[in-house]
Amino acid sequence: MRLDKAKFVGLILLVVAATILALTFYTVIDIFRLASTYILVILFLIALIVPVSFGMLVIGCKLMLYESERLITVDEVRKRVIRQTKKRRIVSFPMVIYLCGIDGSGKTTQLNLIANCLNDRELKLKHVWLRWAAFFSYPFLAFCRLLGFTRWKTVPRSSRKYAEHSFYRNKAMTKVWSALFAADMFIYSVIKITIPLKFGYTILCDRFVLDALVDLMYETKNLEIIRTLPGRALLSLIPRQSITILFDISEEKAWNRKRDIPSIEYLNQQRKLYLDLSDRLKIPVLETSKSPKEVHEEIVERFLKHHPFWWIGSMIGYKA
Give the pairing type, strands 285-287 and 242-248: parallel
Quickly count: other Cβ atoms within 10 Å of residue 104's Cβ.
22
Residue pair 93/309 in contact by the 8 Å Cβ criterion:
yes
Q: Best-predicted range by mean pLDDT among 1-15, 44-58, 306-320?
A: 44-58
Mean of per-residue pLDDT scores for the chain? 81
For the cut 80, the answer to whether the pLDDT of residue 66 exceeds it is no
Q: Model confidence at 100, in pLDDT bands (50, 70, 90)?
A: very high
Domain borders along the chain are 5-65, 82-315
Query: Residue 320: its pLDDT value, please?
Result: 39
d(CA 44, CA 131): 76
Instruction: Report how far apart the first and last C-alpha atoms of the chain are (Å, whole number).
Output: 42
Strand partners, 125: 202
- The strand pair at 125-128 and 202-206 is best described as parallel
Q: 189: pLDDT confidence band, cut at 50, 70 and 90?
A: very high
Of residues 316 and 140, the one with the higher pLDDT is 140
Q: Are 185 and 209 in contact (CB under 8 A)?
A: yes
CA dihedral 261, 263, 265, 267 (to 10 degrees): 10
pLDDT at 101: 94
What is the rounded average pLDDT of the residues 216-229?
90
Q: Is pLDDT above 60 for 274?
A: yes
> What's the whole-number mean pLDDT along residues 122-137?
85
Residue 31 CB-half CA count within 13 A: 17
State the pLDDT at residue 91.
41
More confident site: 44 or 233? 233
Structural fold of domain 82-315: Rossmann fold (3.40.50)
Q: For residue 168, name the pLDDT band (cuts at 50, 70, 90).
A: confident
| Per-residue pLDDT at 30 | 66
Q: What is the pLDDT of residue 311?
A: 62
pTM over cut 0.85 = no
Angle between helices 209-220 and 171-189 (to 10 degrees): 170
